[in-house]
Structure 1
Amino acid sequence: MRLSINRMMRPGLCVLALLASAPAVAADPAPFELTGPSLRVTVTRGKQSLPIAQVPSLSEGDSIAIEADLPEDQGARFILVSAFLRGATNPPPKDWVRFAETWKKKEKDRALNLTIPKGARQMVLFLVPDTGGAEGALADAVRGKPGEFVRATQDLNQASLDRSRLDAFMGAIKAQENTHPEYLRSVAPTLARSLSMKLNEDCLSKVIEMQASCLLENRDSLVLADVHSSSMAETLTGAPTDLALQLSATREAGYGFYSPYIGVVRDIAKIFGAFSSPEFDYLPTLSVRKGDGMGLLLNAAPSFQKPKSVMVVAMPAIEADSPPRLRSGATGPICAARPGALLPVEGAPLVYSTTYARDMTLTLRSASGESVDLPVEARADRGGYVLAGGALPPAFAGTAHGHLHGQWGFDRFEGPDFTVQLPDDKGWALDGEPPALVVGRDNDLLLTGGAPACVDTVTLRQGDGPARPIAWKPQGEGQLALTLPLADRKPGPLNVDVRYQGAAQPSVIGLRSYAQASRLDGILLHAGDKAALLSGQRLDQVERVEVGGLTLLPDGLSRNGAVDHLRLAGQGDGVAPQAGSDLTARVRLRDGRTVNLGVTVAEPRPQIGLIGKSITPGATPATGATLGLGGDTVLPDDGQLVFSVQAGKGTKLTAADTIEVASADDENAIRLTAANGLRLEGPQVMVATLNAKAMAPAAFGPLRFRLRRGDEASDWQPLVTLARLPRIDAVACADGNAAGKADGCTIRGRDLFLIDAVGATPALDHAAQVAHGYTGSVLSVPAPQDGKLYLRLRDAPDMVVTLPAA
């Protein structure tokens, strides 16, 4: 954790402004490592009394009881002196300086019982060896240069707060070294953030045995500025904060780059050196506060010879309490399923290094309105407050909302709000309809449950295979977002197991994965129709479609480039509703999935009906026999068909319309237009002429027709059967008598394979069958009974044509 140098400087260190022109100091001053005497201090405000360690600031009217805590065999006698200050330019009155002789037996003589007077802003204590005239000299010094003591008091108080953070950091590092040194790599950064310490990250790359000692090197420069504790000890006079920061960050100021902790050591020495006397030398102290005790730390041994050392002890500032603004470091709900759940907080290092914040409690309120108070403990090594106590009542299962609060000195301390979750017995379920999970890729899945923050593991199982952990994250207060890795999975059933912290059995969600689904682009459905057209890809997977009361089944799949078109035929008598109706089609796939697709019913399609038709055979050959087709149902491949159509209801014919004629498989279709066989009688009737030779050579069998108008087309309707005819050169019967010969006849010609059977009667009784692929030019057939032979053509198996046998 690297921080800018400006953050390393304490804003309250304004004394540096006085030192800008001082000569550089080559050596660091001695650290505060000598243990000095102790004091016992209690502060009373109203009816409440607190030990000094729990008092961040004093207030006018507070009662203070101060007594030196010296050993019974104390050889040197100390005078305890207290002084109230009211500003750098306003000397205090004489009665604001009080004295106590610590060696006296009576409490009223050896202790100080004070009431903070109105107008006081600072308080300073002195411990001075018993010397004649000491009281007067100290009183004159305080009243003569109050500004120096204002600065010194505030800086010493700040340094004591910095020292508390340093001690907390060092103590935690050493404790970790003695218990689990292997965890220092993860614990040290959290400690540094919590206590606002400078962390040497290079130490964490060393071997485990060397990490702790490396982290604590140059410990006096580890302390970084803490905005809150600095503001508590800002000076009333001196250089502005910005100037102090600039001076403290330049080597020209004489001290290089240093922490506020080191800065105080140098600055106080300068301040006190300015008004030391032959009788007294002022010795700064840092206070270590525990309970009602104030242990003093010295950076030099006190002198009991002239000049005698006067130990200077800073007291908290006399000002309104300013509790820090704790911020929640939580990114979502916090699980309270296990003891020691963490409430991460930021912005207040002093909650870890002092006891200013006390009786901290998290008040939880359940969804049903019940509330419970849970004690919490500040843990710098974890970066927040840790829940203490047993399990929560069942009413708090699911999500509860909590507020962190307590006391800051004498005042109420309000912390941030947290959302706390506890597993319930409802487990987890899908959010909405079962999803269509597709193998070959990752799939997102959303689950709903009571406590996503308490989920411990999520695994994916398929069949008898091993469970595989999968990625997941809480989403909101009641959802869990998963990513299912199905890239290497096969379609089929699978299970997702969600296990809560401390739960023996997981919550199991059964799912099914599928192959790549059809892509459904849209359904074209016209009003009044009982058929539709589905567009997309892989439409061979469609089993049926239900829309607007219609059940549609696949009726032919075609492909146009990269797009499939699936014709859908309706079952029953139902038809599509009126145009403009908005419907939802449920497309069921063959693997059981159902996909919804929006449909807007289109305008009715144009429709036509057949009025009449006539067939003109091709030219009669000069030689050979002519087949008698008869009627208007078979069109020879050299003939011509003329047919007329009439517009259906709501349809008007125009010259731009076309008529399509195609075989049953929609292939080899031709289009008749106004320039190619269509004549418009009027808006209701049209006459079309079709030459069979215009059809493709591969076209034969039943022909259909429909009206085409732009992209719209009417229904296909049967028109005629196109038949390819064999060429009959001659029919010969026995003895030259073609009629009634029992010995039969022969047919000579070409393309005889187009004949399926030849008989003597229209019923084709005892007919001669023609083999498939017959390549001969002569057929033996029965003798005719009425002078005619009857043929069934392969292209028109339902029709019988005649062949004269005479």
Structure 2
Amino acid sequence: MIRPLIPIFAAIALVLTGDALAQQQQGGFDLDGPVLSITVTRDGVTLPITAVPSLRAGDRLSAKALLPDTKSARYLLIGTFLRGAANPPPKDWFEHAETWKSKGNVLELTVPEGAEQALILLAPQTGGGFDAVRDGVRGRPGVFVRAAKDLHQASLDQARLETFVATVGTIADTRPGELATAAPLLAKALGIKLNTECLTRPRALQASCLTQNKETLVLQAQRGTTLAETLTGTPVDVAYRIAATPEAGAGYYSPYIGLARDVARLFGAFRTAQYQYLPALTVARGDDLQLKLNAPPSFQNPRSVLLAPLPPIGVATPPSWQPGSRTPICLARSDVTIPLDDASLLFATNYARDLAIAVTVGGKPSEIPVLVDVAAGGLRPASLDAVAALTGIEGGVLQGKWGFDRFSGPRLPLVLDAPDAWHAEPDDMIVVGREHGLTLKGGAAACVSQLTLRDSKGSERHPAWTATAADAIEAKLPLGTAAPGAFTLTIARHGAAPMQRIALKGRVEASRLDRFVVHLGDREAVLRGSRLDQVAQLDVGEHRFAPGDVSRGEQGDRMTMRAETALTGLTPGKAVPATATLRDGRRLRVTATIAPPRPSATLISREAAYQPAQGVLPIALPDALLPERGRLAFSFRVANGPLREGIELAAKDGSVARLDFASGALQRVGDDVVVASASADKLFDHDVSGPLRFRLLNGDAPSDWQPLAHVVRLPEITGVACAPGEAECALSGRSLFLIAAISQTADFADPVAVPIGFVGASIALPRPAGDTLFLRLHDAPDAIVGLTLSKPS
């Protein structure tokens, strides 16, 4: 679970002043304290403390409190180093400076070997004040070790929060229309909890809404361990149990608040009559450190000693940032941003210096200086002019300094086009008269901004295009009305890169006729080839076929053609010449294959059977009706060759089922008779009703469709009840809405109509004169079915 960190340290103040003052220290660190100017020198290089993520043994620190001349209180500036919770630091690890003097007001420190943490304290000058602070720290080192860790982490989180608040304010003041899009990027970059509801409010209210309740905005930074484990060593499950108590708040962020209050108890027991310790966070103000307090200091006994952290001591962990995008990023774009993930300290601190992206251009290394753009959540080139001089980049590595140390990584998906990188595939031929798909390869697709196609007359078109790979583009050239001739495709690219021009040759693609197949006795035939849309007619002897629909597949075009009369008088299996006439008047020769007649089927008999549910009256159906839960058996005779593959059944909604010999659904009787059987509810994967057709399958020459049966849904009628002496009875059952009308006679002379959408469970009708009623069903309104009644009661 991700939780904010700042509220933890607001609670630390509880320990420092006792229970009474603790009630006043529940807020965030929003009081400005003194400003400290601290520099760190290592190996001859001096940096401000705000640019140093960690100290190491041998570092020389020079610190000065920037107090106003009107400051009446006199402070000792004390520096100390710690070496563990159970190991008091030696006395010579403490140094102090008298801030009110013109000389000797600078504190000089050297990080000793074995030190693990460092603290800066500001103590009011009293007799023996330095000794009292030194003895206090040495007497309880564990309390100050934990405070150093907690306060340093809190300072980093406070920096993230203040960067978010300040940047939101800047955007709201200078470009308020961009706040709704910039705020999510900013929050993601800094690890800030974003209240998305704020972005739906009026523009003038968005900034104030986004920065409300600051103490709950900071989320845990993305590290390998939880904050509780990192700062306290407490197993996270134990931390959660501590925090779940009512005293700890038991809220969404309560585990960390609970641990902070545990630290508070340690400090609370440590307060003396002379001093109380007031924790401070350190936030960068340029090169200086601004102390942030969560309670006003006291200048009466017990006086407040301000306690501020310095960076941890040890080897600085190099940044482990990750690219924020996996897709290529064109460096030449004027609005280019290179996003980074897990880089909140990059955006909130001054630790990173001299950032540049190392690239290879023409086999030679080069560097592109970059700047941090917190509002966009990434980096941007320091100068687009430097980018304009580079070409042919594929990837780059972010490099720079993290404090004093150099680092390298991560690798970023950056691209720039090389000159004349693009070429058409497979060649420069394009087809006019229709939309032509053109593949371009070789360059950086992310850097292409526009395509322009110009013909020999100077007419311009702007084709649509999509990037299909990092180095490939698929363009759709609109050539439906274009004439053959020379074309020029201009590729415009982002930035100052010159346009690239590719010469193309436009030609009309003639139809290619591969084969024409027609079955003897048919009116329809199939023509195969390419660009069949140009065919106007095709003649086979005296038979003329007109064009129909064209479909395109991997093996070319396919067009169904139709003649006015069936093809007769030719010998099956023989190839005869045919002539196709194109729309532009050209004539093409093609060989027509006369195939044998397609197989045909003649229905011999059919029978539908179903078993009504128990307690349901049987319904007698005519021969053509098939109940949706019934079983259909039918037989047919095959002409024009034996049936080898099987048959297809088609429902009204277009659903198709297949019956074959292997499954046992089809069985032969002699050479030309086939018997089929199937359950209606198992033919399709859903319920169907209405006409059912069938045809024979024979490779690519199936027979014509012909009617087989009519699927109907049946009501479940449980009986007809008649009260003694009453002329009217009640027919009852389920699914009565399927009935259209009820009659006592087959001619429906005096029917009882059932309204469409009827949902009742019974229908009033005259007392039946016999033991049969006749029904019309909505699924088959032209058919009449009989309902056999039991004796009416």
TM-score grouping bracket, smaller chain normalisation: 0.5 to 0.7
CA contact (8 A) 1:154 1:234 kept: no
CA contact (8 A) 1:519 1:537 kept: yes
* Matched residue SS, 2:439: strand
Q: 2:472 aligns with which of 472, 476, 479?
A: 479
Which residue of structure 1 lines up, in the alignment, with residue 112 of structure 2?
117
CA contact (8 A) 2:82 2:115 kept: yes
Give the 3 Å change call, closer, same or farther, for CA 54–567 of structure 1 in structure 2: farther
1:405 Cα deviation after fit: 0.2
1:215 Cα deviation after fit: 0.9
Alignment root-mean-square deviation, CA: 4.8
Which residue of structure 2 lines up, in the alignment, with residue 320 of structure 1?
315
Code of the aligned partner of 1:6: I
Which residue of structure 1 lines up, in the alignment, with residue 383 of structure 2?
389
Answering whether residue 283 of structure 2 is matched by residue 288 of structure 1, we say yes
Q: 1:402 aligns with which of 396, 402, 405?
A: 396
Which residue of structure 1 lines up, in the alignment, with residue 221 of structure 2?
226
The number of aligned residues is 547
1:302-317 correspondence to structure 2 within 5 Å: 302-317=297-312
1:39-54 correspondence to structure 2 within 5 Å: 39-54=36-51
Code of the aligned partner of 2:69: E
Give the 3 Å change call, closer, same or farther, for CA 8–39 of structure 1 in structure 2: closer
Which residue of structure 1 lines up, in the alignment, with residue 406 of structure 2?
412
CA contact (8 A) 1:148 1:271 kept: yes
Which residue of structure 2 lines up, in the alignment, with residue 70 of structure 1?
67
1:244 Cα deviation after fit: 3.4
Give the whole-Å Cα distance in 1 for the aligned partners of 2:203 and 2:575: 73
Which residue of structure 2 lines up, in the alignment, with residue 498 of structure 1?
491
Give the 3 Å change call, closer, same or farther, for CA 79–447 of structure 1 in structure 2: same
Which residue of structure 1 lines up, in the alignment, with residue 345 of structure 2?
350
Answering whether residue 532 of structure 2 is matched by residue 536 of structure 1, we say no
Code of the aligned partner of 2:345: L
Give the whole-Å Cα distance in 1 for the aligned partners of 2:150 and 2:402: 22
Give the whole-Å Cα distance in 1 for the aligned partners of 2:339 and 2:432: 40
1:69 Cα deviation after fit: 1.8
Tell which structure's C-alpha radius of gyration is larger. Answer: 1
Give the 3 Å change call, closer, same or farther, for CA 226–483 of structure 1 in structure 2: farther
Which residue of structure 1 lines up, in the alignment, with residue 177 of structure 2?
182
Which residue of structure 2 lines up, in the alignment, with residue 6 of structure 1?
2
Give the whole-Å Cα distance in 1 for the aligned partners of 2:107 and 2:24: 39
1:305 Cα deviation after fit: 0.5
User: 1:433-479 CA distances to partner (integer Å, 9 max, x unpaired)?
Assistant: 35776988x86542125332221124678999997765534444532
Structure 1: tracts of 5 or more residues without a match: 524-533, 544-553, 570-588, 594-806
Give the whole-Å Cα distance in 1 for the aligned partners of 2:262 and 2:429: 71
Which residue of structure 1 lines up, in the alignment, with residue 274 of structure 2?
279
Which residue of structure 2 lines up, in the alignment, with residue 56 of structure 1?
53
Answering whether residue 372 of structure 2 is matched by residue 378 of structure 1, we say yes
Give the whole-Å Cα distance in 2 for the aligned partners of 1:263 and 1:520: 82
Give the 3 Å change call, closer, same or farther, for CA 49–263 of structure 1 in structure 2: farther
Give the 3 Å change call, closer, same or farther, for CA 419–62 of structure 1 in structure 2: same
CA contact (8 A) 1:89 1:146 kept: yes
CA contact (8 A) 2:11 2:25 kept: no
CA contact (8 A) 2:466 2:474 kept: yes
1:380 Cα deviation after fit: 1.5
Code of the aligned partner of 1:193: K
User: 1:362-402 CA distances to partner (integer Å, 9 max, x unpaired)?
Assistant: 12211x22333221101121121110125248873233542
CA contact (8 A) 1:100 1:112 kept: yes
Which residue of structure 2 lines up, in the alignment, with residue 149 of structure 1?
144
CA contact (8 A) 1:339 1:389 kept: no
CA contact (8 A) 2:332 2:387 kept: no
Which residue of structure 1 lines up, in the alignment, with residue 444 of structure 2?
451
Code of the aligned partner of 1:330: S
1:31 Cα deviation after fit: 2.2
1:105 Cα deviation after fit: 3.2
Give the 3 Å change call, closer, same or farther, for CA 86–472 of structure 1 in structure 2: farther
Answering whether residue 131 of structure 2 is matched by residue 136 of structure 1, we say yes
User: 1:53-94 CA distances to partner (integer Å, 9 max, x unpaired)?
Assistant: 111011122221222222223211111222211111222222
Which residue of structure 1 lines up, in the alignment, with residue 645 of structure 2?
none
CA contact (8 A) 2:9 2:154 kept: no
1:263 Cα deviation after fit: 7.8
Give the 3 Å change call, closer, same or farther, for CA 261–372 of structure 1 in structure 2: farther
Code of the aligned partner of 1:121: E
Give the 3 Å change call, closer, same or farther, for CA 14–100 of structure 1 in structure 2: closer
Which residue of structure 2 lines up, in the alignment, with residue 431 of structure 1?
425
Give the 3 Å change call, closer, same or farther, for CA 230–15 of structure 1 in structure 2: farther
Code of the aligned partner of 2:171: Q
1:169-208 correspondence to structure 2 within 5 Å: 169-208=164-203
Give the whole-Å Cα distance in 1 for the aligned partners of 2:431 and 2:404: 60
CA contact (8 A) 1:399 1:477 kept: no
1:136 Cα deviation after fit: 2.7
1:236 Cα deviation after fit: 6.4
1:336 Cα deviation after fit: 2.8
Give the whole-Å Cα distance in 2 for the aligned partners of 1:228 and 1:235: 9
Which residue of structure 2 lines up, in the alignment, with residue 89 of structure 1?
86
Give the whole-Å Cα distance in 2 for the aligned partners of 1:395 and 1:521: 58
TM-score of the superposition, structure 1-length normalised? 0.58
Which residue of structure 1 lines up, in the alignment, with residue 726 of structure 2?
none
Code of the aligned partner of 2:103: K
Give the 3 Å change call, closer, same or farther, for CA 369–277 of structure 1 in structure 2: same
Give the whole-Å Cα distance in 1 for the aligned partners of 2:369 and 2:254: 35
Give the whole-Å Cα distance in 2 for the aligned partners of 1:397 and 1:331: 21
Give the whole-Å Cα distance in 1 for the aligned partners of 2:254 and 2:502: 56
1:422 Cα deviation after fit: 3.7
CA contact (8 A) 1:13 1:260 kept: no
Give the whole-Å Cα distance in 2 for the aligned partners of 1:468 and 1:258: 59
1:192 Cα deviation after fit: 0.8
Give the 3 Å change call, closer, same or farther, for CA 464–150 of structure 1 in structure 2: farther
TM-score of the superposition, structure 2-length normalised? 0.59
Q: 2:32 aligns with which of 5, 30, 35?
A: 35
User: 1:668-689 CA distances to partner (integer Å, 9 max, x unpaired)?
Assistant: xxxxxxxxxxxxxxxxxxxxxx
* Matched residue SS, 1:42: strand
CA contact (8 A) 1:15 1:151 kept: no
Answering whether residue 132 of structure 2 is matched by residue 126 of structure 1, we say no
* Matched residue SS, 2:375: coil
Give the whole-Å Cα distance in 1 for the aligned partners of 2:402 and 2:574: 76
User: 1:333-385 CA distances to partner (integer Å, 9 max, x unpaired)?
Assistant: 3323355632222111110111101111112211x223332211011211211
Give the 3 Å change call, closer, same or farther, for CA 364–590 of structure 1 in structure 2: farther
CA contact (8 A) 2:11 2:26 kept: no
Code of the aligned partner of 2:124: P
Give the whole-Å Cα distance in 1 for the aligned partners of 2:319 and 2:347: 12
User: 1:680-727 CA distances to partner (integer Å, 9 max, x unpaired)?
Assistant: xxxxxxxxxxxxxxxxxxxxxxxxxxxxxxxxxxxxxxxxxxxxxxxx
CA contact (8 A) 2:35 2:65 kept: yes
* Matched residue SS, 1:213: helix
1:420 Cα deviation after fit: 3.8
CA contact (8 A) 1:444 1:483 kept: yes
Which residue of structure 2 lines up, in the alignment, with residue 165 of structure 1?
160
